Structure 1
Amino acid sequence: MPSIMLRLFLTLITFSSAKACGGSGTNNQIYTNPTFQLSFNPPAAWTYPDSSAPMTLDYFPGQPLLQTQAQSNAIGGLTSSMISALSSANINTLGLTITATYTAPTVNDCVKVISGTIMDTAIGAVIGIEEAGAITQLATVGTTAITTMNCAERSYTGTTFTYVPFIQMATIQVQGLVASGYTLQSVANALQAMLNLNYSARFIQAITYK
């Protein structure tokens, strides 16, 4: 079943990319040491909360408490997905050097446990909005603070929010690779599908390369 889902996902991405790019990337231009550029809502596992999280539990399921772990999760996921995407395009990865670049951001959930002077999620606080494993938006608490009970129950009655998209960037360079735009588009499609299905990354736009 996962392989069927992956093939369907790749088909949809390829169709969408062809419509959106108007043939860009599906040509015979040759690229050397290409760099893939990604814009996406990051998986919670690729983010980390501030230092109050162990006491107030204002972190998300699957979210590491340390930046180093979040960074390791991201670089590992990006690198392994690129290796798989290259293999799916029948590219031998021996001799290639894959370098993923990403900076794990800080993002908190609302406060679930009272700790010291922290009683609730105050007006003006900024929290993340998690959807299917990805942090898709940042929300600023408006008119009413979120109590710890309401946070735990995900009941925000009476609270208003101001939302902004939570978009992160990453790059992956493949040194030692020489390939056509047509081949790289196939790699980009597979990479996007794998990162979505295996890591819950939600893409804002199709992966590009240069």
Structure 2
Amino acid sequence: MISDLQILLRLLLSAFLSGVIGYEREVHGREAGLRTTILVGVGSCLMMLTSMHLFDIYQGIAQVDPGRIAAQVVSGIGFLGAGTILQFRASVRGLTTAAGLWAVAGIGLAVGSGFYSAALLSTVVIFIVLFFFTKIVRKIRKDIYHTLKIEINGGIEQLCKIRKVLTDFQVEINDIEVKQLFEDKANFRLKLYLKSYGIKDNQRIVQALSSLSNVVFIGWLK
């Protein structure tokens, strides 16, 4: 049986280690900050302690799997993580925070089971990834994908001018969908699937394309 002192120490350690991760999230203004991560860590630790307690009580009387509750914690944390993931315009935010909550649940389970070395080392690794890797990730040049809708009046040959403007902004056309509007063969709607390297000024791109003759409409789809 686990003593009351051990239970208290494990809960406090879980709160501290979870709080280390939560502090980093709180500083960066993320959805799940200090309080949320501590609650997740302490709650996971409590579930693990409860699972071990039930195993001690019913050992030899009934078949009890001490890992079953822990498995349900890992599954259940997905609902909490989903709540931190938000779609903002064309991007998705909160994935790192959701992954952090999932990892904090693991820390809580490790502490609850008495696996202190893994909990401590995991906390250090997770904190380093969240705190220091942010600067590294920002320096990595990423491919950014957009979809642009353009309506033109003047024939499909206008596409060459559009391509030149996009090339000047270092934007590459991956694919094109062409749809003829009405019965007039001179009116077309283009859907351009674009790839750029790094963040571009979409407003300037629209302004440059709008200056072309026979361009009727321009709009970003994502």
State whether TM-score is above 0.5. no
Name the structure, 1 or 2, with higher relative contact order (CA <8 Å, separation 6+): 1
Larger radius of gyration: 2
TM-score under structure 1 length normalisation: 0.31
TM-score under structure 2 length normalisation: 0.30
